[in-house]
Amino acid sequence: MQEQQTLAVLQDKTDDTFYKDLFYAGTEQEYRAAITAAGESVSSFLQNNKKPFSGITPAALLAQFNTIDFDTPLPDYESLLEEVNTLYIKHATAFHLPQYIAHLNCPVVIPALAAEVIISAINSSQDTYDQSAGGTFMERKLIDWTGAQIGFDTACDGVFTGGGSQSNMMGLLLARDYYALEFLGHNIKMDGCPAEASRFRIFVSDKAHFSNQKNASLLGLGEQAIIKIDTDNRFRMNAVKLEAAIKKELELGNIPIAIVATAGTTDFGNMDPLQEIGRLAGKYKLWFHIDAAYGCGLLLSDKYRYLLNGIELADSVTVDYHKSFFQPISSSAFLVKNKLHLNLIKHHADYLNPKEQDYDELPAQINKSVTQSTRRFDALKLWFTLRLMGKQQLGAYTDTIIETAEKAACMIEEDGAFKLLSHSDLGVLVFRYYPADMTANPCEVNQYIKKALFFSGEILLASTKVNQAFYLKFTILNPLTTIDDIRHILTAIKECGKDYVKDL
């Protein structure tokens, strides 16, 4: 009986179809057919999805998942792609349409998509040279290029990460470990947090990204370590209040270790005063991290690059190419001004990057990565993009977006039906529908507008709260978006608002 079973398996393996799904020289035809079919699904997404969202409710969508049985594989790609189309592509959010104006999702450029084909098939892992070879040097060259755009010299270094939250975490990790080693003679990597760590304090603006709180908590400092500084009328960190807060914490016996400035806030797209904050970081000997997850796009623009002046003062910087460089998710990087600081986190694994290894002979990016070992070659997407389009073309897209956003801001401001909270250095506008004669609760009206437009699928807006009040939010990241698109969106918002008020 047992012999017969073994034989059956052996016979199976000699069958031509047994290995047909493995990627190797013998399946090149299958590979091409599958990629072509997948590409056609993408084409039909572009042709068929004319609204940013289908409007389907979670309940209706979930119901379709009940029939899926993983124990019964589908017969071919045709049925597979049909299923994926029904469950996913048909309802997927279309970031490339101007009517998608919600979150920080940029439309992507084609060279990066072509790179994706290579990235996943060749499947290099960026942790060590023996798993990536040229990939390691391409990543390093892009890091050096980004460092040079920031204004860092050749002492800079960095690593691609999965996103801005992860890059920000590296910034706070280095800040924490650097402070402890330099000023307390304490090695956190080896010995854990010292007692003083409960008094470590990190200064951010009250519009900084929430990942700072999460990261402080993950780093064992607690959210209590985060001191939020009030912002000015354009929602930028107030440097005078920052200095007062640093002094106050010192008086309380706490230990300021770092300032995180935001270059491009998620809610307003404005820049904290980087030069003033950098000066304070120098004066009080604090680690200076700049979260340029969003604002890094200004590095591409000759016209608006000046808005980032002072970024070169940072000890470390977060850049999200998947926010502002038209790259598909994921593509982000963490940079440090002085590469020696990365030694604070270096760990030697005997099987990957042993201590005795000569890193000139065998470089290893894993020395710079905290939360990833096996790591995608995302850098190739940016390589394709910059080599084919150049910084100039990307910069022209960025300029167009900024100019559209400014025109949109003026349009909202001049329209009596709306109230705009602030102009933006980049492309985020926070406002609400609020005609002078409206008696309805403005928070309720605007909540209704957002939800109604979402489930119509016609327009996807974001929202945020400012002083507990609900506001609508535009994030303009698409160079294709015209001022006519904006006008159309604003008209739809007004109509929706009027409907709500009428039905009360």
Q: Which residues bind ligand PLP (CB under 6 A)?
A: 104, 163-165, 168, 209, 211, 262, 266, 291, 293-294, 320, 323, 332
Residue 214 or 391 with smaller CB distance to ligand PLP: 214
- Closest approach, Cβ 322 to ligand PLP, in A, equals 6
Segments in 340-465 forming alpha helices (H): 379-414, 442-456
- Closest approach, Cβ 310 to ligand PLP, in A, equals 16
Residue 323 or 375 with smaller CB distance to ligand PLP: 323
- The pair of structure tokens assigned to 413 is 């401001």
Cα-trace Rg, the chain: 26
Spatial CA neighbour of 308 closest among 348, 271, 258, 267: 271
- Closest approach, Cβ 430 to ligand PLP, in A, equals 14
- Closest approach, Cβ 209 to ligand PLP, in A, equals 3
- Cα–Cα distance measured from residue 17 to residue 23, given in angstroms and rounded to the nearest whole number: 13
Residue 103 or 498 with smaller CB distance to ligand PLP: 103
Residue 200 or 334 with smaller CB distance to ligand PLP: 334
- Closest approach, Cβ 299 to ligand PLP, in A, equals 15
- Closest approach, Cβ 374 to ligand PLP, in A, equals 19
DSSP β-ladder status, 200-205 and 226-229: parallel
- The pair of structure tokens assigned to 68 is 């899926």
CA 447 from centroid of its chain's CA atoms: 26
Residue 104 or 472 with smaller CB distance to ligand PLP: 104
Q: For the sheet containing 460-466, what is the strand order?
A: 100-101, 460-466, 469-475, 428-433, 418-420
- Closest approach, Cβ 211 to ligand PLP, in A, equals 5
Residue 293 or 342 with smaller CB distance to ligand PLP: 293
One-letter amino acid for residue 453 of the chain: L
Contact (CB, 8 A) for 142 and 383: yes
Q: Could you tell me if residue 55 is left (phi over 0), alpha (psi between -120 and 50 degrees) or otherwise beta?
A: left
CB atoms under 10 Å from CB of 367, counted, come to: 20
Spatial CA neighbour of 172 closest among 220, 227, 215: 215
Of all residues in this chain, which one has the CB nearest to ligand PLP in the complex?
Answer: 164
Residue 297 or 435 with smaller CB distance to ligand PLP: 297
